[in-house]
Structure 1
């Protein structure tokens, strides 16, 4: 009995030492897991043009989608697109339902605490969209008025980070999607919508709606890809492919297709 107990203790000690050694070495199986499975699951808000959205055939397309397809092609795995509730994106990531968040995902200090970001690949800004007929020309003109924004978005973070501006507002209406917020602006439910500049430009161009963007932005920002905090191997592999795509002109070509010019910042 004593011999059996001693043997068990020795085995447990060996397992603990092995686990500790693996942890200290910084190794992880995140990349191998993708390679063995043969699929890469990308989490996104599928109503976020031009980054990721559904076209007239209900297919998910967009700038980020084209980037991801090229990256996964170079990785030798199949891209799977998984629409998620944007307000619960970090939970979707950390429970393993998706392998990354890649859909106009803004880097913030708060998100850095729970997400392992790639290097930024696009610059952006949070702006206010109003009707063309609106008398509002500056952010200060929105005092006493209502704004709309997507719940859990960087627009919400930008408003929270501007306490004077936020306190001046009559109210803030949260929507599940940016497109719904812009629809509410169109019918007069809110006086302005705070949204990503790239999304605002794309919406106005595609819809032809009678909107305009204020010249004054609320906050500058960068887009990057979000991975689980300890998934360094996967993060680094994706980053290498993005670096290679920037160097060989592939990223510039994809950007020009969607934006009419190369607006990416990788390697610049």
Structure 2
């Protein structure tokens, strides 16, 4: 009888010990998973305030087309996307210094192909000219002798300053402003006769501030938007990200994100139609 009781005690101790090992093991696995989640690598993305691609929501958090796309795309690659606002004029310097991992902010590939390691374009955008509703400017040719406001270091500034597009006449003046938001007051107050920027950004500004501009039917250029990495960055992330864009295009995620911000999102996904 004593031997049987002893056996039962030994069995009980064994079971309890096994449970303790199990609980300890499970807790260890949970801690390991938590540690892995906490140590997930970050991808630092340089951008600027450029609705609807990137802006701060009511809670002061980054929001917009590029923010949603980057969050989803880098999540698929195992990174946490972290947006930081930078001086857009110094974007390449930030990248070369290693302050950011990439530039992602409605950034046009066209004309800059050799300056960065680029992803394939994830969408297209039209660079356009907008004027006041009662303006007598209806075509690009009508800009002769007029004043145009643009954001500095952008594609419109390059187009107007280069004098290589035969459609662009001689302007009276080009206002190149570091702060994108200032180009619209320049137009509204009559300092400029027209502004030039991404069509999506102009439409967003009109919506946000209840402005009535007229966008010229003839675009300056149709460009592909991509993500730029330093030429010295040999990690090959731009190639991996390009594949993710293709996957997101095929599974409908790209269009689903764009339709939260743009009417007719399918029109912006025809990347094969943009000038390369």
TM-score w.r.t. the length of structure 1 is: 0.80
The Cα of 1:77 is off from its aligned counterpart by: 2.1
The Cα of 1:214 is off from its aligned counterpart by: 0.8
- Match in the other structure for 2:43: 40
Q: Residue 66 of structure 1 is aligned with which of 59, 65, 68? A: 68
The Cα of 1:177 is off from its aligned counterpart by: 2.6
The Cα of 1:266 is off from its aligned counterpart by: 6.2
The Cα of 1:73 is off from its aligned counterpart by: 1.7
Aligned residues of 1:246 and 1:266 also touching (Cα < 8 A): no
The Cα of 1:167 is off from its aligned counterpart by: 5.8
How far apart, in 2, do the equivalents of 1:170 and 1:137 lie?
A: 17
- Match in the other structure for 1:247: 250
The Cα of 1:161 is off from its aligned counterpart by: 4.0
Are the structure 2 counterparts of residues 90 and 201 from structure 1 closer, same or farther at C-alpha, using a change threshold of 3 Å?
A: same
Aligned residues of 1:42 and 1:99 also touching (Cα < 8 A): yes
1:222 is aligned to 2:232: no
Number of matched pairs: 232
How far apart, in 2, do the equivalents of 1:179 and 1:228 lie?
A: 28
Aligned residues of 2:141 and 2:168 also touching (Cα < 8 A): no
Q: Secondary structure at the match of 1:258?
A: coil
How far apart, in 1, do the equivalents of 2:226 and 2:270 lie?
A: 11
Are the structure 2 counterparts of residues 82 and 222 from structure 1 closer, same or farther at C-alpha, using a change threshold of 3 Å?
A: same
Aligned residues of 1:243 and 1:266 also touching (Cα < 8 A): no
In structure 2, the gaps of 5 or more residues are 1-38
Are the structure 2 counterparts of residues 212 and 267 from structure 1 closer, same or farther at C-alpha, using a change threshold of 3 Å?
A: closer
- Match in the other structure for 1:30: none
CA RMSD in angstroms comes to: 2.2
